[in-house]
Each structure stands twice: as C-alpha cells, then as structure tokens.
Amino acid sequence: MGQIIRQHEIKNYGGKLSDMPITLPYGDTYFAEDKGVLYKYNNFAIPIAINGNSPLDFSQSVTDYSFFEDGEIVDQLAYAKNSLGTRWLPGTMGGTYYPQGIYTWDGALWNSDRNAIADALNRTGSGTAWAWFVDNQYTEASPLVIASGATAVLTNNSNTVDSTQWKPANKLPFNYLNSKLESFALGAKFNIEIRFKAKSSDVNGKFNIFLDIGTGAVPLIANQKTEIFAFGANAQQFFTMELNYFAGVNLMANGGLIYIESTLGIMSIYNIDYLVTLDHTPF
C-alpha cells in the first residue's frame, strides 16, 4: 500500500499587521485587523494580500527594506530586500511581486536576468566618473556682482561640457537650465570642485559658499565653507573649493543649488567652472 499523505488543515489567524508571522503553511490566512487586509500564504509560505484593489506594500509592516525607484532611467539598478525576503512593488508599478535580489530597469520592467544586470553594470559603471561644466556668461568685463551682505545663486550656463567620462545611461550631475545639482540615483555620492576668479572691494573681503538642498522656502544646508581674499581690494584671486555631498531624499526631490554669500565687500565673480566627480554608485 502506498504512503498516505495527510493534508494540512488550513488555519485562519488575525491581529495587527506588525504581528503577522513571516511564514505559515500553505493555505493558511491572516487578517490584518488594523489594515482591513486578508493575507493568504502561498506555496513558498509567504503571505499574499488577496483582498483590496492592489497588493499591500510590505514596507508598511517592516523597516528593513529598500525602495525600488520608479524605473525612469534605463539601466538603473535596484535591490529588493526586507526581513520577509520579498516584497510587493507599489501599485503605481502594477503591484508586481519580486523575490529578493538585484534588478535593473530595461525601460519597461525590472529585470533580474544575470546578463541584463551585468550589461547594466558595464554601462552605468560601478566606480567613479566625472563631468566638467564651463560657464561663459560671466567674464571679467561682465562679472556676477554680489553686494556686501547679499547672497546669490552661483550659476553656470554650461557653454562647454565634457561628459566623455560620464556613463551615458546616467543623468548628468548638473542641470544648467535650473542651476541645480542632480543625481541619477538615490544613494550616490559626489564631489564638486567649484573654480572661479573673483575680486572684492574690501581689503579684507570674505565670503561663504554653500550647497542648499532644501525647498527654497525651507533651506537645508548640506555643506559649506568660508573663503577670504588675501591680495587686497580689487585684486584678482583664483578660488578652488570642494564640496562633498550625497543623494539623499532631499537632493533627489529638490536638487541642490550653490550659493555665494558675500559677508564683507562687494564681490565680482567670473570664469566659473564645475568639475563634478561621482565617488560612489549605489546598489
């Protein structure tokens, strides 16, 4: 006589979403009373939301996870991870279910194929990159003038751009149309080297330079430093300043503006250029 296999007796549970078991036998259910959502455990022993218009994002119940971006950039890489090992994508992406792992956006969907990931890594680069932006709007004859005690955005019209060492799949780090520093991905880290010539009307002229990643109405200073004029009033001086920054949620949402605050003396700025280096590419 063949072996008799006893069928699992399906059980139903309920409680808070935060108390939902990570795994249960196939067919068991759990009703999240505080969310009004019913979950059924699949053949991988993972809970699946089976009521409502779209699957519930597990990020509502666990804290160890990484968001997929919206897939706006081809070859963008993302890592799906949380304590459940898998997660739902937001409803705006169709509520598709993805196992834990690395994915790349191919223009239509997130792809976990190893060859596609390898190709994306090759195109986007996992190391460093740089791009150079040269302004021709401000010259010695027609400089950017900032009154003593005033603050102004340091613009760069990017008349000349060298992006030969910047991966084509990645958004350039500076947008001359709005004078903002931008990032191709959350978690990337950059360094910007700001170079210009300047004069001050005060023999002890000085200024502050800072990166603002706030909203304008609510500034958020990411990095700043103070510089001084050492050669006397109205004497030309070369300045080279570096500001390190990373792409957190504020920079991704707002971009970053470089400001000059002339704290002593009337400043005249010209021959501006930016060298932006990518120090870290996120997973």
Task: With a cut of 90, say whether residue 38 has pLDDT above it.
Answer: no
- In order of start, what are the domains of the chain with their CATH numbers? 9-52 (no CATH), 62-124 (no CATH), 129-280 (2.60.120.1120)
Helices (H), 160-279: 249-254
In whole angstroms, what is the distance from residue 116 CA to residue 104 CA?
Answer: 7
CB-based contact 61:18 (threshold 8 Å): yes
Q: Please, which residues have CB within 8 angstroms of residue 44's CB and are 6 or more apart in sequence?
A: none
CB-based contact 190:130 (threshold 8 Å): no
CB-based contact 66:48 (threshold 8 Å): no
Which residue, 41, 34, 37, is CA-closest to 11?
41
Q: Going edge to edge, which strands form the sheet with 101-105?
A: 77-80, 101-105, 110-111
Q: What is the mean pLDDT of residues 155-167?
A: 92
Residue 254 has φ and ψ, to the nearest 5°, of -110, -20
Per-residue pLDDT reduced to its tens digit, 236-266: 999 999 999 999 989 999 999 999 999 999 9
Task: With a cut of 80, say whether residue 18 has pLDDT above it.
Answer: no
pLDDT value for 8: 55
- The total of other beta-carbon atoms located within 10 Å of residue 109's CB is 12
In whole angstroms, what is the distance from residue 218 CA to residue 213 CA?
Answer: 9
Q: What are 142's two structure tokens?
A: 């027609």
Task: With a cut of 60, say whether residue 67 has pLDDT above it.
Answer: no
* Chain centre to alpha carbon of residue 175: 15
Per-residue pLDDT reduced to its tens digit, 45-59: 677 665 433 332 323
How far is the first Cα of the chain from the last one, in angstroms, to the nearest whole number? 55
Output the CA torsion sign for 161, 167, 169, 174. negative
> pLDDT-based confidence at 64, cuts 50/70/90?
very low
In whole angstroms, what is the distance from residue 182 CA to residue 248 CA?
Answer: 11
